[in-house]
Amino acid sequence: MGQHDDPEKAFTEFFTGPYRDVVQDLDEQYPDERSLRIDWHELDAWDGSVADEFLQKPARMRQFATNALNRLEEASVLGANVRIYNLPEKQIVRVGKYRTRQLGKLLSVRGKVVDMEGVTPYAEEAAFECPLCGTLTRMPQSYGDLMKPNECMGCEHSKPGFRFKREQSELVDLQKIVIIPPDSNLEEPPGSIAFLKNDLVDMVGPGDLVTINGIYETFTGQSESTLSTYIEALDLDIKERTEIDTYGASEIQEFVMDALTEQITTVDDFAVQRSDIVDAVTSEHGVRREEVEDQIDALIEANEIGAEGSKLFDL
């Protein structure tokens, strides 16, 4: 055991002791700034066993930290998110190289964003109303099908045809992204799904290099014995973000033409897949996929290149 037995009390002392200034900064900027980022190494220097417990039981420890932060007398940041970064070397894992024993643990995964979905409302806790007696029952949710209660707490009817109540549910912003190893040469490299929540949404785009500090999890409601997994992001390091808008439209168009010329000479049927060109420009110049797509559209519009069928270019 370390010096603290009660985790919530430990975090209260950490927030009012060594992390006092960081908490103060958040307090001043709240709610524009909504997250408190804990440097794991600072936590470790303060209390090694609390820091180690954060790696082993991240979901639980984060809840303790959040409770401590929300109840601080020194700051009023109710609803702020606790995030953790700068994890020790041993937690750093290559995309797709996780092991079963790492399930539920805190990992640091560095990858390249290759796919992303739009931001959607997600019910962390859904409220259901019984149509028979009006009692409200709350159910914590996980990604996938909406989980309804089995029985009404009020009239004890089983499955009375519960109605989902949005206003009484706890909704947050959610975004799903897919990352791959940043340096993979494979045609279809192993991808990992990561979920970003709250103020982590809308921060990255395709092509960005990110470090995700998060919990390795299995989806609930599995249909096969080989389980599908995801990373629940607790923190997103975007310092390695691909510089965007570095190139102007004409430069990107030049990249597209160069990639076309290069590919035309290597294929036999004098036609190049549009996606190959996008891939080439994205990986060679670090331009975002949408920007490349935009400029290809512009070139097609200007009749610089053809667009028959799936063929981008037809000599």
What are the residues binding Zn ion (CB under 5 A)?
A: 130, 132-133, 135, 152, 154-155
Q: Nearer Cβ to Zn ion, position 132 or 238? A: 132
Q: Distance between CA 51 and CA 45 in Å, rounded?
A: 9
CB of 189 to Zn ion, least distance (A): 50
Q: Distance between CA 210 and CA 219 in Å, rounded?
A: 22
Q: Distance between CA 162 and CA 69 in Å, rounded?
A: 35
Q: Nearer Cβ to Zn ion, position 155 or 238? A: 155
Is the Cβ–Cβ distance between 230 and 211 less than 8 Å? no
Q: Nearer Cβ to Zn ion, position 88 or 154? A: 154
Number of CB atoms found within 10 A of residue 314's CB: 13
Q: Nearer Cβ to Zn ion, position 131 or 140? A: 131
Is 212 strand, coil or helix? strand
Q: Left if phi > 0, otherwise alpha if psi is -120 to 50, otherwise beta: which for 203?
A: alpha
Is 238 strand, coil or helix? coil
Q: Nearer Cβ to Zn ion, position 152 or 312? A: 152
CB of 132 to Zn ion, least distance (A): 4
| Both tokens assigned to 32 | 């524009």
Q: Distance between CA 115 and CA 103 in Å, rounded?
A: 23
Q: What is the DSSP letter of 243?
A: P
Q: Distance between CA 189 and CA 290 in Å, rounded?
A: 21
CB of 148 to Zn ion, least distance (A): 13
Q: Nearer Cβ to Zn ion, position 126 or 177? A: 126
Number of CB atoms found within 10 A of residue 9's CB: 12
For residue 107, count CB atoms less than 10 angstroms from its CB and return exposed for 0-12, middle for 13-18, buried for 19 or more: buried
CB of 165 to Zn ion, least distance (A): 14
CB of 168 to Zn ion, least distance (A): 15
Q: Nearer Cβ to Zn ion, position 156 or 243? A: 156
Q: Distance between CA 136 and CA 167 in Å, rounded?
A: 12
CB of 136 to Zn ion, least distance (A): 10
CB of 163 to Zn ion, least distance (A): 11
